Amino acid sequence: MVKKSITFIINPISGITGTKRKESAIQSWIDKSKFDYRIEYTQYAGHATEISAAEVKKGTDIIVAVGGDGSVNEIAKELINSKSVLGIVPAGSGNGLAHHLGISVNLRKAIEIINKGNTLKMDTGKVNERVFVSLAGIGFDGLVAAKYANTKIRGFLSYLKIATEEYHKYKPKKYTIKINGRKIKRRALFIIFANSNQFGYNAPIAPEARVNDGLLDVVISDKPLLVEMPLIAGLMYWRKIDKSKYVETIQASEITVKSKKKRWINIDGEAIKMDKTIKVKVIPHSLNVIVP
């Protein structure tokens, strides 16, 4: 049997699991009868993209992101419409796409999923020219992502602390949304463009979203009162946030959003300030990914 080539790209500063433990897990549990493997380490922002581009050009069969949603994004965008397959060993904080796909955060179990090699051809998305794999968001979501990027302590509690501190003073912004031939004017807390169903941390914002349906779930949220947040949190974790009176979800393949000022956009966890007009679209069945 001809072995497949596989490259693991490890983000050494992602998550709480040490680099040596990640490397040891790969060496211990990758099926060496099926794969010729090698390990690369990222050294700076964007390095994973450079490594991935070289691997795709070389014809590497499988390229594995060992990190969080940001690492997955950096690698996946070079694999779009290529023959190379994305693997994920979730080792970040939120791990949104991995949770959606059912990939375990346990290192051994994640590597065993790669050994089995089941694949899915999934959609990806674009905000202007920026690729996203899991979700993108404008408004409060983008602001929190921008604040979170500057924190030294990662993880859910840090994210929650920022969101809580910013929530009471954040005023919903005015947006003009063109979607499915309709023009909607709305003051919103945030607008999410969901390919997968969640922010991460197993917090589903678009419970019915599917990564291979050729559509994005556009979630437009008003701002609930602070005293109602426990109920909203409950609906989210019960996967019923779309039943809230504050939330409207519309499926679409192309969306245009205009605002009066440039806003922070959350792109798979990375905050980017974009133009006052953003155009969002789905790229159907454009990425091969290993799934359970």
Measured CA to CA, the distance from residue 218 to residue 198 in angstroms comes to 12
Domain that holds residue 234: 130-285
For tokens 């291979």, name the residue.
212
pLDDT on residue 286: 98
Query: Same structural domain for residues 237 and 276?
Result: yes
Query: Same structural domain for residues 86 and 150?
Result: no
What are 85's strand-pairing partners? 62
Token digits of residue 29: 């549990």
pLDDT on residue 239: 75
**Which parts of the chain sit beneath pLDDT 70?**
14-17, 227, 230-231, 234-235, 237-238
Closest CA to 7 of 45, 48, 43, 44: 48
pLDDT on residue 15: 58
pLDDT on residue 160: 81
Query: Same structural domain for residues 110 and 175?
Result: no
pLDDT on residue 238: 67
Query: Same structural domain for residues 194 and 157?
Result: yes
What are 248's strand-pairing partners? 220
Token digits of residue 47: 């390095």
pLDDT on residue 153: 75
Which one of 117, 140, 170 terminates a domain? Answer: 117
Closest CA to 244 of 211, 214, 205: 205
For tokens 């992502």, name the residue.
145
Query: Same structural domain for residues 218 and 81?
Result: no
Residue 274 lies in a domain: yes
Which one of 69, 91, 117 terminates a domain? Answer: 117
For tokens 């679409």, name the residue.
252
Whether the CA torsion 154, 157, 162, 163 is positive or negative: it is positive
Query: Same structural domain for residues 159 and 264?
Result: yes
Query: Same structural domain for residues 244 and 152?
Result: yes
List strand residue ranges (DSSP E) for 11-98, in order: 35-41, 62-67, 85-90
pTM reported for the whole predicted model? 0.92
CB 158 within 8 A of CB 145: no
Measured CA to CA, the distance from residue 42 to residue 11 in angstroms comes to 5
pLDDT on residue 9: 97
Complete DSSP assignment for 146-165? HHHTT-SS-SHHHHHHHHHH
pLDDT on residue 235: 64
CATH of the domain at 20: 3.40.50.10330
pLDDT on residue 155: 74
Which one of 65, 92, 117 terminates a domain? Answer: 117
Percent of the chain whose pLDDT exceeds 70: 95
pLDDT on residue 14: 66
Closest CA to 64 of 33, 94, 103: 103
